[in-house]
Structure 1
Amino acid sequence: MTTPALQARGLVKRYGRVTAIDGADFDLYAGEVLAVVGDNGAGKSSLIKALSGALVPDEGTILLDGEETRFHSPLDARRAGIETVHQTLALAPAMDIAANLFLGRELRRPGPLGGVLRLLDKPAMRRQAQEQLDALGIETVQHIGQIVETLSGGQRQAVAVARAAMFGSRMVIMDEPTAALGVKESRLVLDLIRRIRDRGLPVVLISHDMPQVFELADRIHIHRLGRRAAVVRPDDASMSQVVSLMTGALRIGDPDAPPDLADRPAEISGGGR
């Protein structure tokens, strides 16, 4: 069996009498898009926060490539090669594209200019930023020096995704990446996710958009009541079955339930039907 790139076992997080994560398990394999779906209040946001370092679980273990690890902050996760694209994007609108790609990781000029005077190496950042956009096939951006506040919603999302792909050496987590985007802009982002997956970088996709989930995902992690209810392939399940598993109307083992792929990687075939 292939070792998961990211694995969690028995995660628990309590807030007083409220249990947000209730013994949750998770498996992400190399080269796949894993969609995480669940009803409101299912605990999927808390699960993703635990996996990205924004939340420290009370119990359970997290493993990277089979090695147990513990994140105390999002910075720990970033240092481990896990990048997260949040719904808010966390972009600086008054700065240009290159500056946003290197935000918090700015390159300094060589020698005393960078060491003593701490001057930024803007030509190097713009060159590397352009190379990243070209590698991901982002053609909608006119100039790497364009100010982010002048970009469309889809272009801004593309910049955030490009930054995550640039520094995410192990995986990228995307929280509702097409929320509030139009059809054309959503298509741009979905194509970017495919390109990232095709480069061998696994992607965790949190989404409420079932058609997009079934189009893009290799496997679907269904979260319910703070824990993993099932993992299914889009080819083996219908949207109505996934929704029924989310709400509890259908359970794994029922005659009409799809096969459960929990703890077992599916063949990576590009997702969708």
Structure 2
Amino acid sequence: MHILLLLSLSGFWLNVSSDRLHTPKAALKAEPKSVSVAQGEVARWAGNCLRCSFEKRAWSAVNGTCYYPVDMDMKPGSYTISRRTTGGKLETATIHVATKACVQEDIKNFPKKEYVNVSPQNQSRAAKEAAIVNPLIRYKATVRPAVFDLPVGKPASPLPKGEGNFGACRTFDGQPRDRHTGQDYPVELGESVLSVGNGRVLLAANQFYSGNAVYIDHGNGLISEYFHLKSYSVKPNQTVTKGQKIGLVGETGRVTGPHLHFGVRWHGACINPGFLLIDPSDMQQVQ
């Protein structure tokens, strides 16, 4: 039945049809989807995903879910993300990236003076090592399929609470250095270091700053890093499994003492590895 209502507004009478007061929900425009994260975090968009994109980068979903890693140095602001569903539908959303405060670490009386006043020879060595590592951890348009699931395994067992120094801004005896790219865990000298997932060893070598270091490719652009090892027991191109022992905790390279440095690069983004150790449902979700 069609009913005509007369409404008074500031002395004027308006004719309003009752069927306009009950607009079907399907006719209402859906609110734009979005998610907010801080630098170094990971956003999640679950549900029948095939392909994911973030600005000019794109990659396959992991077990039907799109993950969007945000580099610790990404400029704060709003960016477009999208996904292609299994039904062929293309959906877009906005990711809002907020600034993550840089924790200041001022390390005084650094014991290894060769890392404070770096010689030209060691500067040259570090540059050559970086030229080898950087191509391995950068974003690539074509990568191996994922051989991992989230959360990943722990890099040590038991794994103590991290020191909360991912992304820290550091000085050594008053001299500024690059931000800390991983999370440090107070694991004792000589304890086993474990691969956090199935994968293939990209590099196992002694490096000036990182000491004995292992880099593992887990597919889908996910690279795990283990630094300052006492020793390592794997070699490049070797296949490893989740939980496999790959070395021992040490204090090689630029360190003040023994600990496990665990780092992650995902699609070229340097992120807090702690986000891969939690239940994915605890990540910020696109809504």
Tell me which interval the TM-score lies in, with the shorter structure as reference length: under 0.3
Structure (1/2) with the larger helix percentage:
1
- Whose radius of gyration is greater, 1 or 2? 2
TM-score by length of 1: 0.26
Structure (1/2) with the larger strand percentage:
2
